Amino acid sequence: MAQSQRVPVLAMKGITKQFPGVLANDRVDFTLEQGEIHALLGENGAGKSTLMKILYGLYGADSGTISVRGQEALIREPNDALRLGIGMVHQHFMLVQQFTVAENLVLGSEPRRRGIFLDMNAAVAKVKEVSEQYGLAIDPNARITDISVGMQQRVEILKALLRGADILILDEPTAVLTPQEVSELFAIMRNLQARGKSIVFITHKLKEVMAISERVTVVRRGRVVGSLDTSSTSVDELARLMVGRDVELVVEKGPAHPGEEILVVDDLNVLDARRLPAVRGVSLSVRGGEILGIAGVDGNGQTQLVEAITGMRRCASGRVMLAGKDITNSEPRRLFESGVVHIPADRQRHGLILDFSIAENMVLQTYYRPPFSVKGRLNWEVIRSEARRLIEEFDIRTPGEDVPAGSLSGGNQQKVIVARELSRQPELVIAAQPTRGLDVGAIEFVHGRLVEARDAGKAVLLVSLELDEILALADRIAVMYEGEVVGVLSRDEATEELLGLMMAGAARGSDPDASEVATG
């Protein structure tokens, strides 16, 4: 950047923050130039969110200074930050679901008529004006519950802008977005940049850093390990800085050795919660020793397909067979007993009981069987020692097995689920979005385990919204569009372009049966 002579819009120096047992920030320096998009990169728990929460006044630093536009600033609470023009968009949105966009945006500073009446027309007009100014395209009268996550995020961004922010902190904004929404967000960010806003972009996704930022600061274990111009670095270098060792960004895997058909889905139809068809006439098969990836844009029936196979939603018609046995509409417990394991897409809603300890979570499906219980009596010693074994084997970072699952980081929560599911000697592994929200190190781990399961002869059904993940892992790829499988490709035939077209419903793959023969 050529502005090195100018005063940075933001300079944090020597920021240290100690939490009980963790040094979250250790003498961190961070500078943000006027008008740049600066990526703050690090694994989960590296301290990047802590640093930004200090900047936004949510935490107090133990030591260190913050200067805004050359002036030393004391930021004790978010209102101080807002006064200095610093706005933050949190990972978890803070919106009133039942309110409209405009109502949310004016919350706390409602325009009034005659002192007491809420002037909603003024609010709507103001929202329209600002949203058009930044090219955000939001309907001020839509209710939050009715709009997509990507739109809700725009509301949050707009909220910060309306409060006069010109330094914007975006805390992992892409974690909740589909690939299309990510590119829309990037367009918005460039637009904001063109209007002179400076943006801190927190992420752990390397491709995004390369795609959008001018500079990148890498944090590892609370320390800054590098501050680089994005144009002069590479994905590999960033990964090494972030994790502290060389990382296999490409999954090492040999050729598949497909065996018998384990899972056969035949002309399956499933309705969604509103009783509309969500899965329409889907037929698939997964052999032992192969990974079948299901690609598709979110909301094209993948969720309902997985729910139907795993017994969480009834099939309207069609059949599901496991190694020759009919398991259509079986109870989850029977499925687990016959060797189906399921890494669910929503780990906090389905995968874990956050209030339960890790040990309790490890036996969620098996607690009623020996050795974990005998005649209805739980054997805590066995349960806890099994948990300790899995914590060790799967490298789960936790103070112990009695800690509530909810206190772990997202990556470690996912490791608990992966450990529990893969340790149960499955025939069929169903992994739905197994790496959503995880950092590079944890993704590498989960991918390695899935390939290991494949190589041990298990059938693996992988559902992912991340095309990269599908391309990295799958031996065959089925694409879902509007509830149908529009094609099954072998890995060799699949290119990002072709898959993209199929996911958008613009192309059909070769005949599914033919491609199965080709790979079989």
Partner 1 sequence: MSRPRNGGLWQELRVPAAAVIIGLIIGAVFMAMTGANPLTAYGALLSGCFGKPVNISETLVYINPLIFTGLSIAVAYRAGLFNIGAEGQMIVGMVAAAVVGYAGTGLPRAIHLPLTILSGALAGAIWAAVPGYLKARLGVHEVVNSIMMNYIALYLSHYLVNGPIKDPQVIAPYSREIADSAKLFRFFGGFRSEFRVNTGILIAVAAALLVYYVLYKTTTGYEIRAVGANADAARYAGINVPKAMAVSMLLAGSMAGLAGAVQVCGIQYKFLDLFAFEGFGLDGIAVALVGKINPFGVVGAASLFGILSRGAQMMQGIAHVPKQVAGIVQAAIVFMIAAEGLVEGWLSIPGLSLKKAGKAQKEDA
Residues making contact with partner 1 (CB under 8 A): 310-312, 331-336, 342, 344, 349-357, 360, 364-365, 367-368, 373, 376-378, 380, 402-404, 406-407
Question: Alpha-carbon distance 298 to 150, whole Å?
Answer: 12
Is the CB of 313 or the CB of 454 nearer to partner 1? Answer: 313
**Minimum gap (Å) between residue 403 Cβ and partner 1:** 7
When the beta carbons of 90 and 350 are compared against partner 1, the nearer one is: 350
Of the pair 174, 412, the CB lying nearest partner 1 is at: 412
CB of 107 to partner 1, least distance (A): 21
| Segment (H or E) for 512 | helix 512-519
User: Cβ of residue 373: shortest distance to partner 1, in angstroms?
Assistant: 5
Q: Is the CB of residue 476 less than 8 Å from the CB of residue 515?
A: yes
Token output for 259: 């065996």
Least Cα distance to 479 among 293, 304, 343, 315 occurs for: 293
Kindly state the smallest distance separating residue 322's Cβ from partner 1, in Å: 15
- The answer to whether residues 101 and 138 touch, using CB atoms and an 8 Å cutoff, is yes
Strand order in the sheet with 223-229: 86-89, 167-171, 198-203, 37-41, 215-220, 223-229
Q: How far is the CB of 310 from partner 1 (least distance, A)?
A: 8
Nearest CB to partner 1, comparing residues 179 and 404: 404
Nearest distance from C-beta of residue 347 to partner 1, angstroms: 9
CB 457 within 8 Å of CB 289: yes
- With respect to partner 1, which residue has the nearer C-beta, 8 or 311? 311
CB 240 within 8 A of CB 459: no
Cβ neighbours for 403, distance < 8 A, ≥ 6 positions apart:
357, 358
CA distance 439 to 483: 30
For partner 1, the closer CB: 67 or 365: 365
Instruction: Give the nearer residue to partner 1 in terms of CB position, either 257 or 333.
Output: 333
CB of 251 closer than 8 Å to CB of 473: yes
For the bound state, the minimum distance from the C-beta of residue 358 to partner 1, rounded and expressed in Å, comes to 11
What element of type H or E holds 317? strand 315-322
H runs (alpha helix) in 2-46: none
Closest CA to 427 of 350, 336, 364, 347: 336
Smallest distance from the beta carbon of 357 to partner 1, in angstroms?
7
Q: List residues bridging with 269 in a β-sheet.
A: 317
For residues 384, 386, 389, 394, the Cα torsion angle rounded to the nearest 10 degrees is -100
Q: Are strands 261-271 and 277-287 parallel, antiparallel or unpaired?
A: antiparallel
Minimum separation from the CB atom of position 383 to partner 1 (A): 10
The runs of H, that is alpha helices, within 300-378 are 302-309, 332-337, 358-362
Report the residue number, 329 or 407, with the smaller CB distance to partner 1: 407
Nearer to partner 1 by C-beta: 248 or 331?
Answer: 331
